Amino acid sequence: MPGLIAEIPLLFAQNQAPARGGDGGLFATLLMFLPVILLFYFIMIRPQQIQERKRREMIDALKKNDRVLTQAGIYGTVVSVNPDTGRIVLRVDDERGVKLEFNKASVIQVVDAAEKKDKERAAETV
């Protein structure tokens, strides 16, 4: 019996696996993740860049008498644009002459342009 207990560690002992050649290391790992990174770029980052560029072009093209919608949900007509300070003045009530000053970045949509697009889409479907 004492001999059997002494033999148990030998039963669990295993030979070391022979050393394998290099798996390619860092290069192989990066090569494996490259498609995932590219997919992430084209699905998430690139569309966001395109959308931001269109928004920036829309804001830069603001001019007097454009009807716009702000982030606060206020519709107004552009009275003046100051490119130096990045501010615009909107007329929100024609009867009372109420004017508000906003940062250009607060404009989220030019309403006239959106209405024209909707009319064009409706004309195409008819």
Note the pLDDT tens digit of each residue in 45-70. Answer: 999 999 999 999 999 999 999 999 99
Domains along the sequence of the chain with CATH: 62-125 (2.30.30.30)
Average pLDDT over residues 81-106: 92
Supply 25's token pair.
């290391």
Dist CA 48 CA 122 (whole Å): 28
Note the pLDDT tens digit of each residue in 65-92. Answer: 999 999 999 999 999 999 899 899 999 9
SS3 for 21? coil
Q: What is the pLDDT of residue 116?
A: 66
Tell me the residue type at 95. E
